[in-house]
């Protein structure tokens, strides 16, 4: 049974996604959270990094909208099928999250590329921080690792997805990859793999986090159709209302860069 250790709403700060806007996160620090308890939060718009659960609490902005894909009705578009084909030669392993130098090196290479190409702040995520954010012991935690077995030096880790699995939900939490493989659209292929995996396991929904139509890096989520959007920010004791979304974004939006979500740095700032 979940034990609440802290509940905070951070002061407004500059938004990481929309210039000129202010952002704020509501966070719950908890331990002993079961998969069923986490699902109760997930369907109400909450996400997880380590022992922290969070959702937007911005007073004057509601651009971050929780999005989920109903697995039964999903059909990939042309761009997504191309990504799947481009990554067909890669091997995928699903298991519990791990911490090792190979994973840390992949994260550092990916983040350094973002620092250079997108002006991101430097990340000091070491083994301890990685373990806390991405490999914290949790019954729902999963890791989807992509390997290139054709590399001359042996099997090479080229992409890593951190995910959560509950009885009726699969949540894509975070994804990073080797910048040298950017041309393969690993981010899209990773989402397709997770949808197919959820279908195999009888899980009806894949949660992709927050869609932000005004942000190039987050608008891509609307390209996974059909999908549903959460109405507002329901209280923990209120029933969530999900509605089917119209095809409100052209397929070209699905060609946006690989997935970026509310990252561990943003969550850590709320402490």
- 49-74 residue pLDDT tens: 999 999 999 998 999 999 999 999 99
> So what's the pLDDT on residue 255?
41
Query: How far apart are alpha carbons 237 and 98 in whole angstroms?
Result: 34
Contacts of 135 (CB under 8 A, 6+ apart): 96, 97, 98, 99, 141, 143
Q: Let me know: does 171 contact 54? Beta carbons within 8 Å.
A: no
> So what's the pLDDT on residue 27?
98
Q: Let me know: does 17 contact 6? Beta carbons within 8 Å.
A: no
Q: How far is CA 158 from CA 57, 113, 151, 201, 247, in A?
A: 34, 14, 10, 25, 32
Computed from CA positions of residues 253, 170, 142, 8, in that sequence, does the dihedral angle turn out positive or negative?
positive
pTM over 0.85: yes
> So what's the pLDDT on residue 4?
96
> So what's the pLDDT on residue 156?
97
As given in the structure block, the two tokens for residue 8 are 């905070």
Count of positions (residues) in the chain:
271
> So what's the pLDDT on residue 192?
97
Counting as low any pLDDT under 70, the low residues of the chain are 247-271
Helix 127-134 to helix 101-118 angle (10° resolution) is 90
> So what's the pLDDT on residue 117?
83
Beta strands in 71-155 (DSSP E): 91-95, 141-148
Closest by CA to 207, choosing from 71, 18, 50, is 71
> So what's the pLDDT on residue 115?
86
Closest by CA to 79, choosing from 223, 176, 231, is 223
Query: How far apart are alpha carbons 165 and 48 in whole angstroms?
Result: 12
> So what's the pLDDT on residue 125?
86
> So what's the pLDDT on residue 257?
39
> So what's the pLDDT on residue 123?
81
Q: Let me know: does 35 contact 159? Beta carbons within 8 Å.
A: no
Residues 141-170 pLDDT 10s: 999 999 999 988 889 999 999 999 999 999
Cis before 237 (ω within 30): no
Domains present along the chain, CATH in parentheses = 3-269 (3.40.630.30)
């Amino acid at each position: 049974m979940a034990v609440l250790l802290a509940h905070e709403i951070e002061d407004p700060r500059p938004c990481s996604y929309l210039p000129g806007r202010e952002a704020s996160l509501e966070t719950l620090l908890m331990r002993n959270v079961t998969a069923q308890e986490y699902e109760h939060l997930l369907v109400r718009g909450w996400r997880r990094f380590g022992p922290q659960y969070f959702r937007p609490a911005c007073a004057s902005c509601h651009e971050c909208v929780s999005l989920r894909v109903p697995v039964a009705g999903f059909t990939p578009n042309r761009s997504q099928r191309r990504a799947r084909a481009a990554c067909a030669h890669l091997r995928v392993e699903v298991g519990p999250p791990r911490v090792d130098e190979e994973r840390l090196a992949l994260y550092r290479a990916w983040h350094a590329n973002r620092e250079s190409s997108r002006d991101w702040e430097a990340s000091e995520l070491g083994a301890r921080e990685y373990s806390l954010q991405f490999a914290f012991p949790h019954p729902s935690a999963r890791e989807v690792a992509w390997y290139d077995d054709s590399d001359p030096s042996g099997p090479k880790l080229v992409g890593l997805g951190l995910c959560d699995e509950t009885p009726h939900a699969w949540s894509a939490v975070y994804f990073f990859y080797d910048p040298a493989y950017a041309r393969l659209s690993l981010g899209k292929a990773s989402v397709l793999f997770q949808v197919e995996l959820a279908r195999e396991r009888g899980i009806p929904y894949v949660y992709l986090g927050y869609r932000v139509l005004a942000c190039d890096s987050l608008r891509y989520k609307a390209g996974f159709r059909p999908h549903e959007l959460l109405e507002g920010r329901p209280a923990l004791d209120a029933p969530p209302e999900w509605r089917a979304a119209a095809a409100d974004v052209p397929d070209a939006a699905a060609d946006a860069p690989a997935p970026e979500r509310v990252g561990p740095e943003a969550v850590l700032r709320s402490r």
